[in-house]
């Protein structure tokens, strides 16, 4: 009886796929090979393993989507070293006193645990509302993703960070190892937002947070006991402090850059 049921299901599935060729079978295949059953992730935090099943947007070098793959596949250094590249974003949230909100990544994180970084760093998902083939569509997608992740990581109510308040500045293309197994290879969209927000931090994502003025952040970089994510250091060393100086006037000339900065 069991064997008959299996055959019937297979015939049904094949019939559905013949009738509806537009069905994307990738998600079903990925579910069958979930990260929760993956030896590469044995011993890591259960919730962080689950998040490795999220689907990232795979890109060519010009930021054009060519498909999607799991977060786990995109962050293995063996794949990164073969050229696998995905889309990401970095949010810089400033309060009404022009202080930047930093977070220290949780110890449970699989990549770059315990490192200090900007307010929120993550990936738009390979779904219609967050994927975009043109730059304007991609910007809208990463803004929606930023709003989603600010809530998931820091408990920020989306009403406090409306989509229209995010400013897109530029994109950076960089590659950085986390350890021997994991790393990043991203085209990272830089988003600024100025808002006073209430925090309800998710300890599985964020170990600590603090607001800093520009000089306080520069002093943090001088403290050898503190470690920072590579993308945050790149942005700070090249562009952040100049942007920060123009936060309340003159930022317009830095917004909407169309060229990708190769780091």
Q: Confirm if 117 and 221 have CB atoms less than 8 A apart.
A: no
Is 205 noted as a catalytic residue in this protein?
Answer: no
Identify the active-site residue in 56, 74, 120, 121.
Answer: 121
Q: Confirm if 93 and 148 have CB atoms less than 8 A apart.
A: no
Identify the active-site residue in 153, 184, 186, 205.
Answer: 186
Is 186 noted as a catalytic residue in this protein?
Answer: yes
Residues marked active site are found at: 121, 186
């Amino acid at each position: 009886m069991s064997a008959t049921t299996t055959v019937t299901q297979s015939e049904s599935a094949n019939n559905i796929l013949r009738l509806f060729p537009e069905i994307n079978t990738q998600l079903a295949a990925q579910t069958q090979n979930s990260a929760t059953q993956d030896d590469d992730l044995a011993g890591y935090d259960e919730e962080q393993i689950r998040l490795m099943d999220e689907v990232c947007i795979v890109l060519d070098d010009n930021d054009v989507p060519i498909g999607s793959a799991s977060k786990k596949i995109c962050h293995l250094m063996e794949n990164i070293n073969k050229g696998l590249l995905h889309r990401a974003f970095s949010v810089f949230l400033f309060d009404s006193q022009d202080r930047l909100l930093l977070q220290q990544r949780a110890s449970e994180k699989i990549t770059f645990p315990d490192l200090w970084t900007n307010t929120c760093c993550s990936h738009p998902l390979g779904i219609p509302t967050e994927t975009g083939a043109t730059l304007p569509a991609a910007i809208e997608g990463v803004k929606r993703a930023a709003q989603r992740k600010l809530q998931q990581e820091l408990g920020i109510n989306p009403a406090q960070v409306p989509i229209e308040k995010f400013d897109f500045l530029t994109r950076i293309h960089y590659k950085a190892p986390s350890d021997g197994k994991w790393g990043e290879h991203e085209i990272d969209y830089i988003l600024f937002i100025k808002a006073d927000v209430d925090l309800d931090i998710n300890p599985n994502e964020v170990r600590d947070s603090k607001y800093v003025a520009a000089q306080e952040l520069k002093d943090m970089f001088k403290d050898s006991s503190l470690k920072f994510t590579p993308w945050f250091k790149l942005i700070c060393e090249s562009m952040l402090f100049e942007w920060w100086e123009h936060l309340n006037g003159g930022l317009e000339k830095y917004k909407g850059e169309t060229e990708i900065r190769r780091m």
